[in-house]
Amino acid sequence: MSLFLVTGAAGNVASRIVARLCARKLAVRALVQSGQKASFPAGVDVFEGDLKDPTRVRAALAGVSRVYLLSGGGDALALEGPLIDAAAAAGVEHVVKHSVQGAQYEAAQIPRWHRASEKRIEASKLAYTFLRPASFASNALMWAAMIKGGDAVYGPFGEVALPVIDPDDIAAVAEKVLTEGGHAGKTYELTGPASLTTAEQVAVVGRVIGKPLRYVNVPDEAAHKSMVGMGMSAAQADAMIDLVKMLRGLGRVEATTTVADLLGRPAHAFEEVIQASAAVFRG
């Protein structure tokens, strides 16, 4: 029986992957940061460790045949390199890397970080699949405090339209890729079904909760200060602003049909995600 290792297992996407694999009665090891609080279904082998610690990574890989590789924010290769090397040495059958949409273009710092990790995997000769999701639709939940306290959402995104994706759609694709054959060597660009500006997303939230809302663009400097104020490192905030500038330059990122093609059903619309979480926005 295959043992699946899911890294970043306490996070928004990976926790859903763990739950999906467990629902299929598969053997799952969830790698979480030491001291991190997380709740998993019964039977999950919870393993504490740091991705940058080669000794703990090797221990986490013991008996593992398939890996979902998802690291936190920051330099993806620095975080993921030890596991990639250890997985190759251990003869892991398949690594599914959680990357980012547009990584292949290396047009901003975050895509460059992820592409460097992808290249390391390619060079390792591991069987791999790269999942490159768009921005998460669930990022809108971070607007809750602004919406409860007023009628405006503030951000630096300008007029760029993004095909935001439900994290559960990413998890559903990951489940399929991890448990089926035929995906080795493939790269999947994962998006929601339509591209929306931030103003359009805010309008959807307002419509769902019955409260007129508006979007107010802010300077990059103010957005950077806010990110750091919420606990993000200055380097990560720099990388986020770099990404936002690149996206604004594109103007529009088109949706793909990959989720529907793989799952045989449409990707969840942004409004569906907001409807499921509407209580979060109500004061």
Q: What pLDDT was estimated at residue 1?
A: 67
Q: What pLDDT was estimated at residue 138?
A: 97
In the numeric block, which tokens belong to residue 138?
């669930």
Q: What pLDDT was estimated at residue 38?
A: 85
- Range 3-133 classified under CATH 3.40.50.720: yes
**Tokens 């082998």, located at residue:** 45
- DSSP category for residue 268: P
How many of the other CB atoms lie within 10 Å of CB of 283?
9
Rg of the chain (C-alpha set):
19
Q: What pLDDT was estimated at residue 36?
A: 85
Sign of CA dihedral 77, 80, 84, 86: positive
Q: What pLDDT was estimated at residue 29?
A: 98
In the numeric block, which tokens belong to residue 196?
């929306």
Burial class (CB in 10 A: 0-12, 13-18, 19+), 104: middle
Q: What pLDDT was estimated at residue 146?
A: 96
- DSSP category for residue 91: T
Sign of CA dihedral 227, 233, 237, 240: negative
Using alpha carbons, select from 134, 72, 146 the residue that is nearest to residue 268: 134
Shared fold status for 3-133 and 137-161+193-254+266-281: yes
Long-range contact pairs involving 181-187 (C-beta distance under 8 Å, separation at least 24): 183/94, 183/96, 183/129, 184/94, 184/127, 184/128, 184/129, 185/127, 185/128, 185/129, 186/129, 186/130, 187/104, 187/129, 187/130, 187/132
- 3-class state of residue 238 by DSSP: helix
Q: What is the rounded CA–CA span in Å between residue 15 and residue 81?
A: 22
For the chain, residues with pLDDT lower than 70 are 1
The CATH class given to the 137-161+193-254+266-281 domain equals alpha beta
Q: Where are the domains of the chain?
A: 3-133, 137-161+193-254+266-281
Q: What pLDDT was estimated at residue 37?
A: 81
In the numeric block, which tokens belong to residue 256?
């793909």
Q: What pLDDT was estimated at residue 30?
A: 98
How many of the other CB atoms lie within 10 Å of CB of 63?
12
HSE-CB at 209 with a 13 A cutoff on CA atoms is: 23
DSSP string, 21-77: HHHTT-EEEEEE-TT------TT-EEEE--TT-HHHHHHHTTT--EEEE---SS-HH
Long-range contact pairs involving 222-226 (C-beta distance under 8 Å, separation at least 24): 222/156, 223/155, 223/156
- DSSP category for residue 8: S
Q: Could you read off the pLDDT of 161-205 as tens digits, one per residue?
A: 999 999 999 999 999 999 999 999 999 999 999 999 999 999 999
